[in-house]
Structure 1
Amino acid sequence: MVIKAQALAYFVVKCTFSGPQDLTLDEQLIRTPGIWKLFVDGSVAGKKCGAGLILSSPEGFEICQAIIFDFPLTNNETEYEVLLAGMKLARSLEAKHLRAFSNSMLVVKHFSGEYEQMDPQTTAYATKIKDASLSFGTFELSQIGRENNGWADALSRLASAKTQSLTGSIYLTEAKTPSIEKKECLEIRQGADWMTPLRNYLEKDILPPNRREELKIKYRASRSIIINGRMYHRSFSQPLLRCLNTEEQYQALEAVHEGICGEHLAGWSLAFKILRQGFFWPTLKVDASEYAKKCVQCQLFATVPRQPPEEMTSVLSPIQFAMWAVDIVGVLPTSTKQARYCIIAIDYMTKWVEARPLSAITEEAAKKFFIEQIILRFGIPKICISNNGTQFNGNKFRKFLHHFGFK
């Protein structure tokens, strides 16, 4: 496969590489069971910055990643960026023990403390790497020669090469901002996250003063768990579901609803498909329904059911004021005498309308309306049609109908 250097990033998940060859390091130490290996390298060619990494599991499965950064970096900053990217990838795969190899002596010596950090930018990167290393059970960073880091070096040079041939599955992505600026943005966005109260309870045992809110958080936390800083939801019939914040929720809805192979599902169908992908948030069903309502393609091309749910029949009355339809409208804006409802009756033949405001919708109010505005004015009708509401279907109103002899 020919990959253009203008592409933004490449993730090679299944490769034909056999891994770094002819390493001068101790082979037995590298292949220790339970330890993940990470090989990283960065490259800067003019205005183009690239990086490559190879992450190898203890079982020998390899993930090769080549990144082209969409922002300017120095050689040292590129080495830091690719190391952070590799550590993030290893952490997402729940690696417990990681040994990283880089051909940058500056990065390795800064991490070990042998070199003094003078540049504020370099200091920020080094601090972030030390913080990231705490998420592993054991982490070790060693220097490796460029000649022994050939595959990572080849991946990093995609930024400066016009074309590059690789074999395997390739996915595209883009790195737009430096890693040292991303943490501050996430902290601001997570301030009002729905997961924050649950995290405070699970990690710090902090509960709100309100008793009702306290019980609510305890109930939700009983089905939540935090693994490597990531919150998961315990489902009844599925594995752990990854909890998503506000930004990730929108991305999940967009990808499943209208992404590749998106079926433009709506409502519970869309929500259930997201659940099957392993994601969760409390308002998933409501958000899925609202998202589908705002989709332009769904509004333009969705099938609109025009067939009535049951066979329609005409209701006709050959005699005036013999058949009335009655219903109640409300809640309306409050008027005089605290009236918030309106009872309405319509004659089927003449379409004559009788209406009265009501403050309460009771059987007594419906009886009074019929006596004063139907029977006394137009006579006793033959049939009364309603929607079987409680005001027209109670015992008192049925006795009233039976007394005057209409159905």
Structure 2
Amino acid sequence: MINSKIRSDITCEESRKCVKADFMGSRIVIPDKLRKQTLQLAHEGHQGIVKTKLRLREKVWWPGIDQDAENLVKSCRACQVVGPVPKQEPIKRTQLPDGPWQDLCADLMGPFPTGEYVFVVVDYYSRWQEVAILKSVTTDKIIRLYKCNFMSTVINFVIWKFWLSSVKVIKSNGYPAIRD
């Protein structure tokens, strides 16, 4: 049964094919029984909501066609598995520091299957790396690592002693260290 609001736009031909005439030209009006099959045919190739709607609008029409197309694509398992690829933000270049041990990058990885964590510190200028393996993570352990392990060389000791106030440490904002 055709709604009275749209009946004036629809003409039925001798072949019992109903056509909706509108600003887009003539489109075939699809009965309820054939809508699901028509949607699936339009969505072959799994090209997303916009292209599925476009393919439907070129040839066919029924009340709520856009919403039906959106619902089909959103519930399509193949489209959900593959899904749209999220846009990656461009990599931002960090400005190279004036000298070594001015800007440090620190990151904590884990826990690994062994229950251990890996704490890494990298100097942005020289790319020097210091790595420590931890059984557990606390703020006090991280501070001790900075003071003892990572500042053990003569150069690091001098930097720690004289340039401490100018050192900038950049962390990944990942796993927080826990205070005991």
TM-score by length of 2: 0.44
TM-score by length of 1: 0.20
Question: Which structure's relative contact order is higher, taking Cα pairs within 8 Å and 6+ residues apart?
Answer: 2
